[in-house]
Structure formats: structure tokens, C-alpha cells
Amino acid sequence: MTALAPPAPGRVPATVPGTRARTDGVVRLGGAVVLWAGVLLVTYWWTTGGGVQELGSWSSGLESTGRLTGLLAAFLLLVQVLLMARVPVLERAYGQDRLARIHRWVGFTSFDLVVAHAVLITWGYAAGELRRTPATLWDLTAHYPGMLLAVAGTACLVLVVVTSVRAARRRLRYESWHLLHLYAYLGVGLALPHQLWTGQDFVGSLGRTVFWWGLYGAAAGAVLVWRVALPLWRTARAGLRVTAVVAESADVVSVYMSGRAGRVPGEAGQFYGFRFLSGHGWSRSHPYSLSAAPNGRDLRITVEVVGDGTAELQYLRPGTRVLVEGPHGRLSPRARTRPRVALIGAGIGITPLRALAEGLDYAPGDAVLLHRYSGDPLFRHELESLAAQRGLQVLWLPGHRRTTGSWLPDVGSRAPDAALLTHWVPDLADRDVYVCGPDPWADAVRRSCADAGLPTDRCHVESFGW
């Protein structure tokens, strides 16, 4: 067990890292301020509208609390849509892993508030009598403007939330889950109009009317622009087509694509949503990371065959047109803040790190790649070539995990993962670390890096569990 060679002294990348990372930090701070300011503003309007005074009696208190939960639910649902809309400034600042965590927290919170709103407001309209609540619910649904749409929208949200629970997600194919998840847009679109049309808290003043209709319009516009119009425009502009399909192993395939020079955006380490217009399955987008640094014209993805969608890639023909959405993800040079980097990948998770090893700017010895794998490693010859040409240090980690909870194979030592990691990379705490692999494995690497003294904001993780 030997440590890697020390980095070359006095060498720094040609470009100074950190500028874009600092900008993204400002965006994240601004996003948090806007989110909590919105929550406080909505609560303030409820308070000034008599919400607190109405808590004095049982039935009016139920109605008042129901209005507050409805207001907060509406705000968070629209925030949820903006989080799902692929807004570039948010994508760049947060990255997919962090956005997914925020999306999940906001999603479940907004759904709980929707349920609370429906129960409390109906109970309040029933004068606080539970036995009258079912009849009151029917009366509201049948006779109040927009309520039938709201019930349909809530049903869509229930479907999305139920299929988002981890136990349910494990039983669904990614393609099915992704299609069902799109019902969130329909659910929000149907659930909110009744409040915009009839809710006094929404239309009680010019400021409230502008706020709510503006937020609703921004959410709808973001979806149309960045989920629909931008991918179609970029696809037409780039003209991507499959140029070759290469089997890397029995269950791994690389797809090469080429487009018009200078019209394929993206950085090493990022991923795209691809639709290959070859017949069956073209309507479903699949997220795949780049396995080679993009050059403005050519893209390469390397995919493990694990299901119907990935199996079809083996049979793509040269000339097949490609509809592309992206690029996405923060596992890229954008997140970098230090001259030295460490890349840690497992299995097929090595693909974006292979692209980073090629695309990052670093001096000889300033980049190290730890490749965890079973069987034959991917890109052995390409990584050896990068080691020879650019001074990339590569540590091969073959075999099965040594213990439960560890991310390392049996290396003949019982030392903790963090101790081994700092033995191999003594200056780990002074680097940016990029990690890609399955969820539990990536979490174990993150913990080891933290134990080794790496600040959390310099551990950039992209996991491929969904």
C-alpha cells in the first residue's frame, strides 16, 4: 500500500478556479433568501387579513388555518415547478444532487400542506362538525368555481407523491417513473386556479394579485421556455446524429454523436437528456453523462446495459437523429475552487470522471483518479494515455467491498476508509473532490472525505440512483 506521488511544486492551472463557484454561492444564498422571504410575505398577508384574529373560535380557526396552509402550499407548489423547470441559473448554482434534495423536501412539504388545506378548510366550512364534512366537501366540489379541477389536480399530486416514495420507486422502471412524475405539472396546473379565481388572500389587493399571477406566470413560462422551447432550439441548431456505437464490454456500450461545429454546448462531467429518434422509446428522455470532454461538435456517452432503454442503444444505427436536453449538472469545472483535484468513481460512474480527467486544466501530478471496479476497468487504455500525456495519477481499486458500509475493496489493511484515503492522497483536504457512483457508495465516499478533513462544499457528488 503506497501513497501517490506528490504534486509538482509551483505549478498551477492556466485558468484560476473559483470565480464561477463564488458566483454560484451568491445565487444559492439569493435563492434561500427569496424562498424564505416568499414564505414570510405569504404569512404576513394572511396575518394582516385577519388570520390571527379568526383563531378565536373553533370553526373560524379551522377556516383560517386552512387558508394559511393553502397559501403556503400554493407558494411551495409553484417553487416546486421552478425547481423542475431546468432554469439554467439554478442548475448551474445548485447541481442536480442538491436540487433533487431540495425538490424532494419542497415536494413532500407542499403536498402535506395541500392535504392539510383540504381537510381544515372543509372542516371549517362544516362549522367544525366532522359528521357534516363529507357533505360539505361534495358541496364545495360541485358548486364552487375551480374546485372540480382542484380535486383532479390533487389526485395527480397524490399519484406523483406515492410513486416518489423510495419503496415505490424501486418497483418502477425509470421510464415509467419519469412519465408519472410529469403529472406534477398537471397537478399544479389544475390545483391552483380555484385559489386565483376566488381566494380573497390572492386577489384582495393589487400587490397580492400581481404577486400570485406573476409567480404563476413565471412558473408556466419557465417550463415552456426551458423544458420545451430551449431543447427543441438546441436540437435544431446542433443537428446531432449518431456516428458510431462501440461495445466497451459485454454490458457496456459507447455512443458517439456529432453535430455542427461550435453548436453543442457543455463541459466535461455534465450530462444530457437524450432521445434517440429511432422508433420505439423516442418519447422518453434518458439522462447520460458524457464520457469524453466535449469539443463543441462531438459528444460521447458510455452506458451500462441494465434495462430496456439502455439495451436499445446497442442497436442504434449511424445517422440516427438525436434530440438533446441540456447540458445539466455541476460535476464540472464550474464547481472547482482549488488547483488540485481528486476524482473518485465506481463502475460506470467513472464515465463523467473520465471526461473531467481530459477536460480539466491541471498541472502534472495535480489530478488523481481513484477507480473502484469489479472485473475489468473501463477506459484503462485512455486513462493510461492521460497519465502519460498529462501527468494524471491513477489508482486502480479492483474487487468487491471489503466490509458493509465501506466504499473500498479489500486492500490488505483494516485501517478506516478515511485513513486509507489520506494515505493515498495526503493533501486531500486541500483539493476539490469529484465523486460519482451508486447512492450508498457515494454517501460512504462523502463521509470518508469529511472524516479526512475535506470541507463539504468541496466534495462534489453525482450519484445515479433514482
Digit-coded pLDDT (tens) for 46-93? 898 888 888 888 888 888 888 899 889 889 988 988 888 888 888 888
pTM score, two decimals? Answer: 0.81
List where CATH 2.40.30.10 sits in the chain: 239-328
d(C-alpha 66, C-alpha 74), whole Å:
12
**223-262 pLDDT tens trace:** 899 988 998 898 888 899 999 999 998 889 999 999 986 7
Tell me the average pLDDT across 426-436.
95
What are the b/e assignments for 135-148, b being 16+ CB within 10 Å? ebbeebeeeeebbe
d(C-alpha 453, C-alpha 456), whole Å:
9
Query: Which pLDDT belongs to residue 166?
Result: 63
Identify the residue with better confidence: 130 or 110: 110
Query: Which pLDDT belongs to residue 173?
Result: 61
Query: Which pLDDT belongs to residue 199?
Result: 61
Contact present, 123 and 130 (Cβ < 8 Å): yes
pLDDT of residue 172 exceeding 90, the answer is: no
Which of 64-73, 92-101, 173-182, 309-318 is predicted least confidently?
173-182
pLDDT of residue 6 exceeding 50, the answer is: no
The stretches of 9-57 forming alpha helices (DSSP H) are: 19-48
Contact present, 57 and 63 (Cβ < 8 Å): no
**452-465 pLDDT tens trace:** 999 998 999 987 65
Question: What CATH number matches the domain at 336-463, 3.90.1300.10, 3.40.50.150, 3.30.70.20, 3.40.50.80?
Answer: 3.40.50.80
Query: Which pLDDT belongs to residue 55?
Result: 85
C-alpha grid cell for residue 80?
416546486
For cell 460535476, name the residue.
331
d(C-alpha 302, C-alpha 300), whole Å:
7
pLDDT of residue 128 exceeding 80, the answer is: no
Query: Which pLDDT belongs to residue 11?
Result: 42
| pLDDT > 90: percent of the chain | 35
Handedness of CA 282, 287, 293, 295 (dihedral sign): positive
Longest Cα–Cα distance of the chain, Å, equals 78
The stretches of 192-333 forming alpha helices (DSSP H) are: 193-198, 200-203, 206-222, 230-238, 308-311
pLDDT of residue 40 exceeding 90, the answer is: yes
Phi/psi at 409 (5° precision): -80, 180
List where CATH 3.40.50.80 sits in the chain: 336-463
Give, for 73, the enclosing helix (H) or strand (E).
helix 58-84
d(C-alpha 429, C-alpha 433), whole Å:
9
Give the CA radius of gyration of the chain. 25
Phi/psi at 305 (5° precision): -80, 105
pLDDT confidence bin for 95, thresholds 50/70/90: confident
**CA separation, residue 50 to residues 44, 63, 119, 209 (Å):** 10, 12, 21, 18
Which of 5-19, 222-236, 342-356 is predicted least confidently?
5-19
Query: Which pLDDT belongs to residue 21?
Result: 82
d(C-alpha 459, C-alpha 447), whole Å:
10
d(C-alpha 315, C-alpha 310), whole Å:
10
Cis geometry, peptide bond prior to residue 6 (ω within 30 degrees of 0): no
Query: Interior CA angle at 318 toward 315 and 323, to 5°?
Result: 85
Mean pLDDT in the chain?
83
d(C-alpha 374, C-alpha 353), whole Å:
17
What CATH class has 239-328?
A: mainly beta
pLDDT confidence bin for 318, thresholds 50/70/90: very high
